[in-house]
Amino acid sequence: MDKKIKIKNIGSITSMGGDTRNADYFNIFTKEALFDYDISKKIYECCLKIEKSDGDLEGIYGIGDHYNKRKIDTEDYYMDEIGNEISILEIEVPKLGKGIAHISSPHLFNNSFIKNFVEFHKPLYSHIEVKDNTLCFGFFNMIFDIGFSEFENIDFYNVKNKPNITKFKKFIKKKYKDILNKSNMGASNIVECSVPNGIHRGYSIMPLPNTPHDDGGQIGQLFICESK
């Protein structure tokens, strides 16, 4: 890979593990996904269906205006082998562009490794649509941390009116603040990045063949804005 790759460290997120599996939910999202009344309602309704069917929160993958305008991507993130930390970087790749990346196991895949031993695969479906200049990365559970559950007293989605929108804004602001302040492994729970508005495509970051840690799996993604 071209050593002219430029990398800027933005921060990192860590998790103490959300359950007995040493797992948590890793979310890539625009803040609009949570703070917009209509979009968050779709996520809430999806969470209720998942909760009743004892399914997985990865089902909210694709929530948005429609399939090509995804607002959030949620992954059930197992940490036994890859660790409890994800680094967030700004990466500029010659002939590809500049964007925001997340890297698993940063103790293995440092900046030197990324500059010398990876390649970037064009995405098929992975993308986030940004309309509020924010691309965020965080460990949290929509059901337990946000409270999108049938056991939470949520009634502001019943009718969309000014009082309920006000009630919703107060609710989501508090929940988001609680996530920012919850215990972790010494880094952040959410990292917010300022980005251009548009469709951000997620390029898979893969170790080059016959290099250290070449096991066929991606070590992260680089999100580059392709439309403004």
Summarize pLDDT for 87-138 with one digit per residue, the tens.
Answer: 999 999 999 999 999 999 998 899 999 999 999 998 777 889 999 999 999 9
Summarize pLDDT for 19-46 with one digit per residue, the tens.
Answer: 677 889 999 999 999 999 999 998 898 8
Q: Phi, psi (5° rounding) for residue 157?
A: -90, -5
1 pLDDT higher than 70: no
Domain range for 45: 6-225
Summarize pLDDT for 6-18 with one digit per residue, the tens.
Answer: 999 999 999 988 6
Q: Which pLDDT belongs to residue 20?
A: 72
218 pLDDT higher than 70: yes
Summarize pLDDT for 147-195 with one digit per residue, the tens.
Answer: 998 888 899 999 999 999 999 999 999 999 999 998 888 899 999 999 9
Q: Which pLDDT belongs to residue 213?
A: 78
- Could you tell me the pTM of the whole model? 0.91
Q: Which pLDDT belongs to residue 68?
A: 60
* Residue 174 belongs to some domain of the structure: yes
**Using N-to-C axis directions, what is the helix angle for 37-53 and 162-181, rounded to 10°?**
70
* Residue 149 belongs to some domain of the structure: yes
* Residue 117 belongs to some domain of the structure: yes
| Range scoring the smallest mean pLDDT among 58-62, 77-81, 209-213 | 58-62
In sequence order, what E strands does the chain have? 6-14, 23-29, 72-78, 85-93, 97-104, 118-121, 127-130, 134-139, 190-194, 198-207, 220-225
* Residue 1 belongs to some domain of the structure: no
* Residue 153 belongs to some domain of the structure: yes
Q: Which pLDDT belongs to residue 7?
A: 97
65 pLDDT higher than 50: no
* Residue 90 belongs to some domain of the structure: yes
* Residue 129 belongs to some domain of the structure: yes
Average pLDDT, the chain: 88
CB–CB of 133/228 below 8 Å? no
69 pLDDT higher than 70: yes
Q: Which pLDDT belongs to residue 104?
A: 94
d(CA 36, CA 223): 22
82 pLDDT higher than 50: yes
Number of structural domains in the chain: 1
d(CA 10, CA 15): 17
